[in-house]
Amino acid sequence: MAKLRAGIAGFRGYSGAELVRLLDRHPSVTPVLLDHRHDVEHRSEPINRPVHERFPSTAESVLDSRLDVVFLATPPEVSMELAPAMLNAGARVVDLSGAFRLRDAATYKLWYEEEHTATHLGACKDITASP
């Protein structure tokens, strides 16, 4: 049985690092690290971590590396930017941020004090808009 290839964007943060640690132990998953920051060449490597494949967080990388699923352990605004591209590349997306938790755009704006930029994905639809 082929292993599931799981990309993790935001692997340097607490949630992303824990997810990598958990997936490293899973016998049916191969974690792949996705760099979403522009300053990655200036950042030191995490210590005491197994070596993983690494790619930029782009739709092309998702296609080229044959990722089955992409986990977004990123801030909400980054998740809203990355999710559409990852979905268009054919990967399933699991967002760990708050970007897609709320039912409508007005509630999102109330809580996060910013506009939701990816309402077309199904979550956070503006329920006040006419069909």
Q: How far apart are CA 115 and CA 122, in angstroms?
A: 15
Domain covering 4-97, topology: Rossmann fold (3.40.50)
More confident residue, 44 or 111: 111
The per-residue pLDDT for 41 is 56
Q: Where in the chain is the domain with CATH 3.40.50.720?
A: 4-97
Prediction pTM value: 0.81
Where do the H-state alpha helices sit in 1-131? 14-25, 59-64, 76-88, 105-112
